C-alpha cells in the first residue's frame, strides 16, 4: 500500500510511504529515493534536508488506522487523512467476529477484513461505493467464518 504525502519542512520534496501488506514493513521514499532507517531505539527514518542535515522522523501507530503518523521534533504529521468515526466503525466491524466466539479463526478472518476495509476506504471510489464495499467485506467475513467453522465442525464431528 503506497501513500503520497508532503512535509512542511520539505516544501520542494515529495514523499511516499510504502507499507507491505503482510509484513507491515515501512519504507519512505523522498523524491523516489529510499530514505535510510536508523537502528537506534524507535528506528527513525533519517531524512536529509536541503542543508545536508539529517531530520529524524519516527513512525508511530495511529489506531485504528494501519498508516502511521510521523513524529518529527515532537510534532505529529498525518500521512493520510484520519478516518471519520463511522469509517472507523466500518473498518473495525469485521474484526468483531472474535467476540462471537471466533477465536484464532475469527481473528484471522477479521484481521484480513479489517486490513482490506482500510484499503477500500483509501481508494478513489465515490464515498457511497466505498461504504457499500466495506459493508460487503464485513458480510463476506462473517459468511466465510461461518462456512469455515461449519466445515471444521463437520470434519471433527462426523
**How far is the C-alpha of 40 from the C-alpha of 51, rounded, in Å?**
23
Q: What are the cell numbers at 52?
A: 545536508
Strands (E), 20-113: 26-30, 33-34, 36-37, 45-48, 54-60, 69-72, 75-78
Residues 28-56 have a mean pLDDT of: 89
Span 52-62, mean pLDDT? Answer: 88
Q: Report residue 57 as a C-alpha cell.
A: 522522523
Mean pLDDT, the chain, whole residue set = 88
Report the candidate in 46, 79, 47 with the shortest Cα–Cα distance to residue 60. Answer: 79
| Residue position matching grid coordinates 529510499 | 34
Residue of higher predicted confidence among 85 and 51 = 85
pLDDT of residue 110: 92
pLDDT digits (tens, 9 = 90+) for 63-72: 777 788 899 8
Per residue in 116-150, pLDDT (tens digit) is: 998 898 888 899 999 999 999 999 999 999 999 99
Confidence (pTM): 0.71
Amino acid at each position: 500500500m503506497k501513500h503520497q504525502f508532503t512535509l512542511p519542512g520539505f516544501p520542494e520534496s515529495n514523499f511516499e510511504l510504502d507499507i507491505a501488506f503482510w509484513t507491515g514493513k515501512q519504507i519512505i521514499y523522498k523524491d523516489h529515493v529510499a530514505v535510510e532507517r536508523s537502528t537506534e531505539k524507535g528506528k527513525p527514518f533519517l531524512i536529509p534536508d536541503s542543508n545536508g542535515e539529517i531530520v529524524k522522523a519516527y513512525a508511530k501507530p495511529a489506531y485504528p488506522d494501519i498508516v502511521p503518523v510521523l513524529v518529527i521534533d515532537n510534532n505529529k504529521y498525518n500521512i493520510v487523512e484520519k478516518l471519520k468515526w463511522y469509517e472507523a466503525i466500518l473498518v473495525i466491524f469485521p474484526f468483531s467476529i472474535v467476540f462471537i466466539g471466533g477465536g484464532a479463526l475469527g481473528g484471522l478472518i477479521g484481521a484480513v477484513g479489517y486490513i482490506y476495509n482500510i484499503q477500500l476506504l483509501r481508494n478513489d471510489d465515490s464515498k457511497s461505493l466505498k461504504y457499500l464495499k466495506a459493508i460487503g467485506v464485513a458480510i463476506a467475513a462473517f459468511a466465510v467464518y461461518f462456512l469455515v467453522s461449519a466445515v471444521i465442525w463437520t470434519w471433527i464431528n462426523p
